[in-house]
Amino acid sequence: MKYYRNLRDVDKLSADQCALLEPVVQKYAFRANAYYLSLIDWDNPADPIRRQIIPSLDELDEGGRLDPSSEQTYTILTGLEHKYNSTVLLLVSNVCEGICRYCFRKRVFMKPGQELLRDVDGAMAYIGVHKEITNVLLTGGDPLVLTAGKLEAIISRLRQIAHVQIIRIGTRVPVFHPDRILEDPELADLISTYSLPAKKIYVMNHFCHPRELTDKALAACDCLRRAGAVLTNQCPLIRGVNDDPDVLAELMQKLSFAGIVPYYLFQCRPALGNYAYAVPIEEGYQIVEAAKSKVSGLAKRLRYVISHASGKLEIIAATRHRVFFKYHRAADDADSGRIIVCRSNPQARWLDDYEEILETSPMGFRFRGYGPE
């Protein structure tokens, strides 16, 4: 596979275009491959595939922060995060097949290796003594850029810890480089060996647009499924990519038709350079609900969520004057299931943009209030 790290090597971009974008690539890394670039309609400047991989001057907006979900707060040792009681996250790679322009963890590519898990023994010891941990998520970067042997060195040890039930692999390899899966029988063997009847390996795909679901991509997913993996999909809501109800509905349908469970739709996180990619939350809610109205129950299982420092909150309702959030996962167990009611703010792109209010609920739910009414 041919890879591109310099925009000037992309023959579909003119010298003038590359010069214009040079300040962006000096700040945020660029990486793509021939397969993914082949999916772009180069005659369309607003092409949604192009939007995801080719830098934009919009990224020079200074808003946002490098760690928008405060991952460092939950880092126990370098490369191991323990935010939710039952789940640990291991950053096992600092490389991706392509770098998404809206990446919330772009700091990993700005300072390569700084957050990568190196003390595997220490990680296994920590997980081993914390029996509440039933889920381990392998992420990065992209774990599937690693060889099957390197993956097995981690997964085999996790399978020796009795209370670890689910191993999750967060990946865009089926999107960016499906041949990596189709041409590596050792990877399928690895899944077959360690995805057990009562202890499954989940592959958390990241398809953002229906055009990414090519024949090759679907074949790669089918290969993983036949090997024994459970397939889901989680992706962000991105301006200019999937912020249209028809496009989002088509994505949800095609995923469900292929046996890939639509799991999470994330609010784009306020990382540096991400402002232009984020859709305001209340607009996003309307897009999601309109998309859900067009599909069957199997296709509409995704939850529209914010991965906030305090937890994962689902946007469950929006009215003219109020927006309702519910903690789907909470860093503090006391918040689990708690509902937050906020004043409407049509420009809000993150939970911190809202003013929380205290209301009396006829259903008797508890609410929290921050600051004056």
* Cα separation, 213 vs 329, whole angstroms: 29
Token pair listed for 246 = 């028809």
Measured in Å, how far apart are the chain's first and last C-alpha atoms?
Answer: 58
What's this model's pTM, rounded to 2 decimal places?
A: 0.94
Q: Where would I find the H helices in the chain?
A: 15-27, 34-37, 48-53, 107-110, 120-129, 148-158, 173-176, 179-182, 185-194, 215-227, 245-257, 281-292
Domain ranges of the chain: 3-54, 71-312
The answer to whether residues 222 and 260 touch, using CB atoms and an 8 Å cutoff, is no
| Average predicted confidence (pLDDT) for the chain | 94
pLDDT in tens, 121-138: 999 999 999 999 999 999
Instruction: Write the CATH number of the domain with boundaries 71-312.
Output: 3.20.20.70
Mean pLDDT throughout 185-198? 98
pLDDT band at 339 (very low <50, low <70, confident <90, very high): very high
pLDDT, residue 358, reads 62
At 63, the pLDDT band (50, 70, 90 cuts) reads: confident
C-alpha span between 324 and 342 (Å, rounded) = 6
pLDDT in tens, 230-248: 999 999 999 999 999 999 9
Chain segment 168-186, per-residue pLDDT in tens: 999 999 999 999 999 999 9
Q: Flag whether pLDDT at 367 surpasses 50.
A: no
Residue reference for tokens 């914010």: 306
pLDDT reading at 253 higher than 70: yes
Per-residue confidence (pLDDT) for residue 56, from 0 to 100: 97
- The mean pLDDT value for 288-307 works out to 96
Lowest mean pLDDT among 105-119, 268-282, 312-326: 105-119
